[in-house]
Each structure stands twice: as C-alpha cells, then as structure tokens.
Structure 1
C-alpha cells in the first residue's frame, strides 16, 4: 500500500513595497514554535534587502538556506522560470518543511500565482493554505493605496519581465479581491478616524467573508495567518480580478444572509448538510458557529464551496446564548429558501 503524500501548505503574502510584508514574516518566524518554515522572497525592488533581513533575523531555528530569493522579476510573470524551480529546491531537501511563506513582489497579481498550484507538476505536492494581503493603513487613510508610489513606479520600470501594466489602484484591488485575510499594517499610527477611513478603503473592494486584522510592527499571531486550510487553488476561479473582465464578478453582485438553525446532533452531520447546500446552490463561502447538542464547546464551521472544515474553539460563555448561526455568501440570485431548506434538512 502506498503512503499518503502530504501536501505542504503555502501562504501567499501579497502587498505593495513598504506595506510591511517582511516585518510580518519576521514576526511569524519569531513565533513559529518549532515549525520549520521556508520562505520564497520576490521583493526584488529592494534588491536583496528583504531576503537579507530574513536570513539575518537572529531567530532560533531560522536557517539561512530556508530563504530563497527570486530576483528575476515579478513572481506572477515568471512562475515557470523561477517559482516552480524554487519550490522544487525546497521540497527536495532532506529535512522537510512544515510550511512555505511566499512574499510576492509589490506589483504581483496573486491570482496567476495561485493558478499555478493547479499545474500537474505542482498540485500533488503543495497547496495554498491562504492568501494574506498586507495593506498600508496610513497610506489608505490619506487616500492612497501605497505609501511610496514613486518607488512602485521605479520597480515597474526596472522589471523587464512584467507583462501587465495595470494602474496601481487595479493591482491593489486584485490583491485584496484574492485575499482570505487582510492585515491593516501600521494601525498603531492611526487614530480612530484614520482607522475608519483605511478600513472603508479596503472594505469596498473586499468580499464580505474576508476579515481585516489590525497589525502594528507585524505583530499578528501566526495562528491567525497559518493553518487556514483553504486550498485556495481549488477556489481561485471564483476570485474576482480585473483580468477576468470587470463585469464578471463585481463585488456588488455578492449577497449575504444568515441562517439560524436548532442545535445539531453531530459536527459531521452539519458538515454534510453544508456541503450539499454549497454544491446544489453554488454557495461560495459559509462560516459561523454551531451548538452541538450535549457539548459545552462552541463549534466553528467554515466552507469554501463544498469543502467544509469544523473544529471546537472554546467553551460557551455562561451569559452567551448557545445557538447555531451560519453566514452564507453567494452571487446575486442565490436561492435563499433552497439553501435554508438544505441546511435544515
């Protein structure tokens, strides 16, 4: 009997030059708790600086050969030439890695990179655990999408491999639209009004299912970023992009509603119902909490299409109503009554 091959989870960290991607990754390394993490760095606009910062991080367990730099151009434009060979080098090592972090160039479009994870020579070995977009809080609060637009223009001019010449606002929208989580960096530099402006600038481009996490100095719990288990490559065609055609999946075409259910008998039973509803009615995302009869713990339920995960996260609080409440997200025209019926069946 052949052994089951474990696919190594990869997290794609996207965002403009200076948004705080490297600081975030350093923080993840510092709090890795024994996990061996390899890093692919593509921020060539700083010619070696990001890779050097990570190599010389001084963090126990962070080895120099765990950091690979791709300096030949934007990663989404050099996937076959640079990215796949880098994966090969990491996966061929005698000491296996537990997770791979991919820091993209500021001008990279995440969707083409994630699509490469469906290539035959890639998909059986790695999976996209999640896409994290790091956005610059003070820049957004000031009405810009990047802190240093001149640096981005210089990066664009220096990259001969770049095959897309999108306005930076469109690159920003593509990065956010592909994200499973958004880190609003440098949030400590903003007052309440500034935070509200920055959040609004992101939210109007964001799927309703995606959360925004405030970050200061990259200090975000790695448990929030890693282990999402979303297999994004299997859902990537549902992620909106300017390159798909602007009319195809406008964010205004999403609709969201909440389904309240009675206590469930068992987690697997609920997961089967969720999967059936998602498949039959084209539900894009579902997430929420469930009360499992006889259990003191709250059950977290998440689904991307028909792929469902669930786990107990904590005990119900004494003053908290034990309930099953699920948020359902789909395109306009989703048959709410049919979804509710399948979830309640």
Structure 2
C-alpha cells in the first residue's frame, strides 16, 4: 500500500545569484537518508542550474529525480508545467520523501504557493516551508531593499510616481513569503554588512522570521527542512505587491543568450563580463565557456560585476565545444548587438 501522507515541499526562492543552486547542491549531498527530488526553474531558455545539480546526484537523489523547467517562469506556467511535473515526481517508485523547488530569481513565490491548492495535488503535497536567500553584501548596500523613509518622502513629494523599482518588489515579495531567510556569501560581505543586511530584512519582513548567515550554502538541513509550515494554508500572512492580480508579467526584464566559440583567456572573459555589468547595469550572467586546450568546461557565474569561474566537468565527446552565456538585465539595458560587442574580445 502506498503511503498516503503528504510529501513535504520546500520552496527555495531568492534574487538572481543569491546562491539557491549552491544551497540545494549542499542539501542533496547531506540529505541524511531522505529520498529527494528537485525541480529547477530557469528564467531564459538555456538551462544551467539543472546541469549543475545533476553533477551532485546521489543514490537518494538520482539524476532522474532532478527536473528542469526552462520554458518560462514557474509561477506563470502552473497548469502547463508545474502541476504535471509534481504529479510525475509523486508517481516515482520509490516516491520522494521531500521535494525541493528552486524558483528562478525573478519568480514571485506567492502564485506558486497558491498552486498547491490545486485539486490534483492538494491532498498529496504540502509546502513544508519557503526559504528566501538574499546576498548579504547586496542587501547591505541597499540595492534591493529601498529605505522606507526615503520612499515615503519621495512619494509625499510626487504622489503620481511609484518609486519602488521592479527589483525591490521582487525582493520584498520573496521576503514576505519566507519562513526562513538565509543571508548568503557572509564571508564576502563581512560582519558589519551581515548585521546591516539582517536589520534590513527584519524591517522589510511583514512578520518575524529567523535570519541565518551562511557561506557556500553550508547549513544543517534540520534548520530549513521539516518546518511543517503548511504555507498553502497560510497565504493571508504572506502579502504580495501583486495580491488581487490573477497573473503577473516579467516585461521588466530581458534575458538573452550569447554564444561564442572557444576562448583563449578566461581572465579576459571575466573582465569583459564585469565591464558589461558595470556599463549596462546587467543583473546576472551565467553559463559556460570552452577554453582552447582545456579538457574541462568552465562554469561562469556573475552577479553584477562580481564574476566567479570554475572548471566543473570534462567536455563530453558528443557535445560541441562552445561558449554560451545567459545575460539578464532590466528591460532596455541590453540587446544582442551590445552584448556581442562587449564580449567580442
């Protein structure tokens, strides 16, 4: 007889480059005997995060338990993609003990939580908790958390202007849905910035939530799994800028894929990516590069002008050696010609 208990689902949300994939990789490696399944949602057509997570597959989370949805925002494609994916995972034998969902950095978590009330899955899954990740250094710098007093003053001066940026709305919606907030890259931010970021998060959150700083996604799974939040039954306590709307658009952002052949100098590519981010306010660049003479694939991850590269795996014999990068920015900041010129060198 099949177990009729609900399968717990943890939703991992957070802005672009906050470290969601790193956290889930850590959870896969430290599952503690749980049979895991993972759903990864990418913003854009080039799947990177799913491929990274497949490298972490273990017997309790084999590669077939890792599903990538790369054809749109998960909260906008519930009926077409999300519900069938969850149903397929629930049909696995053995059935997963826990499902992890990594949303895209631009996803609003509340529409996703509402999907767990769909008749097809409501009796079979429950949202164990929503984990919001935030880059401690970025939050401390105020990039994604406007000063409420300053916003109030601006609105008082011109009531016809909405001074909340799209990025701020995404950030605030993610915090509003969270059961736990993780401040990532604490080592890069430093103690003072972590303290500032913690204060900003607590001021923005609509209800008290634990705020934990971490490095490289390393956290005891017991801290964030097994929360029993049943978030699908607690939507009223998780306000959103988009409450009252049936759907939302991502027209505030552009995502494009830039392709090159083999490159000679990884450092030069990193410098070009950083310059593009500074000149065009690019939010995120991620992908991989083929370095001439190197048997390993170079993984490229950039948040703003901060660029990290590492060799992640050998090139397979059946795949072309090429460089492919996803570039994400606010609408109107980049186009194919601009990106091509910036990365040509």
**Range of TM-score over shorter length:** 0.5 to 0.7
Which position in structure 1 is the counterpart of 2:138? 139
Which position in structure 1 is the counterpart of 2:167? 168
Structure 2 distance, partners of 1:86, 1:244, is 26
Aligned pairs for 1:173-322 (under 5 A) are 173-244=172-243
Give the CA deviation at 1:200: 2.1
Structure 2 distance, partners of 1:46, 1:11, is 24
Structure 2 distance, partners of 1:239, 1:58, is 33
Give the CA deviation at 1:194: 1.1
Task: Sort the Cα spacing of 1:98 and 1:3 in 2 relative to 1 into closer, same or farther, 3 A.
Answer: closer
Give the CA deviation at 1:59: 4.1
- Unpaired runs of 5+ in structure 2? 146-163, 245-345
Which position in structure 2 is the counterpart of 1:340? none
Give the CA deviation at 1:105: 0.8
Structure 2 distance, partners of 1:35, 1:11, is 13
Which position in structure 1 is the counterpart of 2:82? 83
Structure 2 distance, partners of 1:213, 1:98, is 25
- Match of 1:76, SS state, is coil
Q: Contact between 2:13 and 2:109, CA under 8 Å: does it hold in 1?
A: yes
Aligned residues: 226
Which position in structure 2 is the counterpart of 1:156? none
Which position in structure 1 is the counterpart of 2:314? none
Q: Contact between 1:44 and 1:73, CA under 8 Å: does it hold in 2?
A: yes
Which position in structure 2 is the counterpart of 1:52? 51
Which position in structure 1 is the counterpart of 2:17? 18
Residue by residue over 1:273-322, the C-alpha shift from the partner in whole angstroms, topping out at 9 and shown as x without a partner, is xxxxxxxxxxxxxxxxxxxxxxxxxxxxxxxxxxxxxxxxxxxxxxxxxx
Q: Contact between 1:17 and 1:43, CA under 8 Å: does it hold in 2?
A: no
Give the CA deviation at 1:195: 1.3
Task: Sort the Cα spacing of 1:4 and 1:32 in 2 relative to 1 into closer, same or farther, 3 A.
Answer: closer
Q: Contact between 2:44 and 2:71, CA under 8 Å: does it hold in 1?
A: no
Give the CA deviation at 1:58: 5.4
Q: Contact between 1:44 and 1:70, CA under 8 Å: does it hold in 2?
A: no
Which is worse superposed, 76-85 or 42-51?
Answer: 42-51
- C-alpha RMSD of matched pairs (Å): 2.0
- Match of 1:244, SS state, is coil
Structure 2 distance, partners of 1:179, 1:125, is 22
Which position in structure 2 is the counterpart of 1:155? none
Q: Contact between 1:141 and 1:198, CA under 8 Å: does it hold in 2?
A: yes
Q: Contact between 2:8 and 2:125, CA under 8 Å: does it hold in 1?
A: yes
Give the CA deviation at 1:231: 0.7
Q: Contact between 2:202 and 2:208, CA under 8 Å: does it hold in 1?
A: no
Task: Sort the Cα spacing of 1:23 and 1:6 in 2 relative to 1 into closer, same or farther, 3 A.
Answer: same
Aligned pairs for 1:59-138 (under 5 A) are 59-138=58-137
Give the CA deviation at 1:4: 6.7
Structure 2 distance, partners of 1:145, 1:221, is 27
Residue by residue over 1:77-131, the C-alpha shift from the partner in whole angstroms, topping out at 9 and shown as x without a partner, is 1111110010011011121100000000111111110011111111001000000
Which position in structure 2 is the counterpart of 1:158? none
Structure 2 distance, partners of 1:186, 1:45, is 25
Q: Contact between 1:136 and 1:145, CA under 8 Å: does it hold in 2?
A: no
Runs (4+) of structure 1 moved beyond 6 Å?
none
Provide the TM-score with structure 1 as the length reference.
0.62
